[in-house]
Amino acid sequence: MNRIILPFLCFLLVSCGEKKPIKTTKVESKDIKKSNIHYSQEKHLQNIKQLTFGGDNAEAYFSFDDTRLVFQLKNPEIGIDCDQIYVTDWVNDNIKEKLPPMVSTGLGRTTCSYFMPGDTTVIYASTHLGDKNCPKEPEKREDGAYVWPIYPDFDIFVTDLKGNIIKQLTDEPGYDAEATVSPQGDKIVFTSNRSGDLELYIMNIDGSNIKQITFGLGYDGGAFFSPDGTKLIFRSSRPKTNEEIKVYKQLLSEGLVKPTEMELFICNIDGSDLTQITNLGNANWAPFFHPSGNKVIFSSNHKSEKGFPFNLFMINIDGTDLEQITFDGIFDAFPMFSYDGKKLVFSSNRNNGGTRATNLFIADWKE
């Protein structure tokens, strides 16, 4: 799944002009007492542990038995020039001292890894069949717009934990990525532009019976299942005005999307009962269901005037009771609850010594 890159890295992420319907109050720095990795207001998080120490570490997701994490890492300083997939025994591994095993091929660019049922295989998307080299990053645009590339070489694969690809699940022309697996172990959801637009699709765990489940113009992506496997939460940037539609279609024709305005939607796994649950403005993304199935945790910069910080928020699935969960000054995203509901893993720029590093953190979850 694409990542929001922070302003001091490459660009200034700003709202594209839409007025925010909810007035919010900034958290001033004097209100925050901070340890190296934990802010005092983060009352739902306890015993936070930093798992990685350098590079761009993101999208860490638990195995079904909660003992391992699969994640993607980019760190040119150690020869990892574009994202590759790694699996760690997060309790026992010391990633600071030694990298865990890579389970992708080391070729192309990978994204969106997730454990399959049984925890002996992992699903992920990769561009390696199209080109063994890292795909080209989008050039800076004259209009200054921040864009995500939608690489047409992405396809979805299943690998064992030794890095051997055992199955290719998609082979349609164009972008197939952003796959996640139902907690029930029977379905996979992913994003594809095979229809000419970026829509959500559902397939069986073996890749059969692929069905399109969203149909509205705009980028539908980053979907996750509810704990009971009956619903999906996802991000969407759906253009409404003629100008927004024109810009969206032009960028899509170039293999690009602009993610600076995204809201969260929920639906049944067949696409029915589609409901928008946020209307906050700016970028609301990386959602994941709370273990109860009645709430969603997500990353948002809706309070931000300069594009950051991004923090984690919680909201009921009916769109009520918005609560701020993290209070970092730069970036928190990609939250996932463990299957037993006791842990939360997320990516953050906290405690990076002023570098550009995004690291993985895990915490005990307190209601």
Phi and psi at residue 125, to the nearest 5°: -105, 145
pLDDT for residue 29 = 33
State the total domains in the chain: 1
pLDDT higher than threshold 60 for residue 39: yes
pLDDT for residue 201 = 98
Q: Does the residue 40 lie in any domain?
A: no
**Among all chains, which residue has been given the structure tokens 């080109």?**
131
Q: Is residue 26 very low, low, confident or very high in pLDDT (cuts 50, 70, 90)?
A: very low
pLDDT in tens, 257-287: 999 999 999 999 999 999 999 999 999 999 9
Phi and psi at residue 243, to the nearest 5°: -70, -40
Rounded to the nearest integer, the mean pLDDT of the chain is: 91
Per 3-state DSSP, what percentage of the chain is helix, strand, and coil (rounded to 5)? Answer: 5, 40, 55
Sequence length of the chain is 367
What are the structure tokens assigned to 8, written together?
Answer: 């001091």
The residue-averaged pLDDT of 294-306 equals 94
Q: Containing domain of residue 323, as a range? A: 51-365
pLDDT in tens, 189-248: 999 999 999 999 999 999 999 999 999 999 999 999 999 999 999 999 999 999 999 999
The residue-averaged pLDDT of 334-347 equals 98
Torsion angle of alpha carbons 112, 113, 115, 119, nearest 10°?
A: 180
pLDDT for residue 144 = 77
Question: Is 144 or 149 the better-scoring residue by pLDDT?
Answer: 149
Q: Is residue 5 very low, low, confident or very high in pLDDT (cuts 50, 70, 90)?
A: low
pLDDT for residue 145 = 81
Q: Does the residue 10 lie in any domain?
A: no
First-last CA distance in the chain:
28
pLDDT for residue 306 = 80
Q: Is residue 84 very low, low, confident or very high in pLDDT (cuts 50, 70, 90)?
A: very high
Q: What percent of the chain lies above the pLDDT cut of 90?
A: 85
* Half-sphere exposure in the Cβ direction for 279 (13 Å, CA): 8
3-state secondary structure at position 191: strand
Q: What percent of the chain lies above the pLDDT cut of 70?
A: 90
pLDDT for residue 219 = 97
pLDDT for residue 307 = 81
CA 291 – CA 342 distance, rounded (Å): 9
**Sign of the Cα pseudo-torsion (81, 83, 88, 92, in order):** positive
Q: Does the residue 22 lie in any domain?
A: no
Asked if 297 and 290 touch (Cβ cutoff 8 Å), the reply is yes
Q: Does the residue 98 lie in any domain?
A: yes
Among candidates 153, 79, 65, which has minimal Cα distance to 87? 65
Question: Is 13 or 304 the better-scoring residue by pLDDT?
Answer: 304
- Of 16-20, 201-205, 300-304, which range is least confident? 16-20
Question: Is 329 or 5 the better-scoring residue by pLDDT?
Answer: 329
Whichever domain contains 206, its CATH number is 2.120.10.30
Question: Is 1 or 54 the better-scoring residue by pLDDT?
Answer: 54
The residue-averaged pLDDT of 133-146 equals 87
pLDDT for residue 149 = 95
Q: Does the residue 12 lie in any domain?
A: no
Q: Does the residue 114 lie in any domain?
A: yes
Q: Does the residue 176 lie in any domain?
A: yes
Q: Does the residue 220 lie in any domain?
A: yes
DSSP summary character for residue 107: S
pLDDT for residue 143 = 79
Q: Is residue 97 very low, low, confident or very high in pLDDT (cuts 50, 70, 90)?
A: very high
Query: Which residue type does 83 have?
Result: D
Contacts of 289 (CB under 8 A, 6+ apart): 224, 225, 226, 227, 231, 233, 295, 296, 297, 337
pLDDT for residue 8 = 35
pLDDT for residue 140 = 84
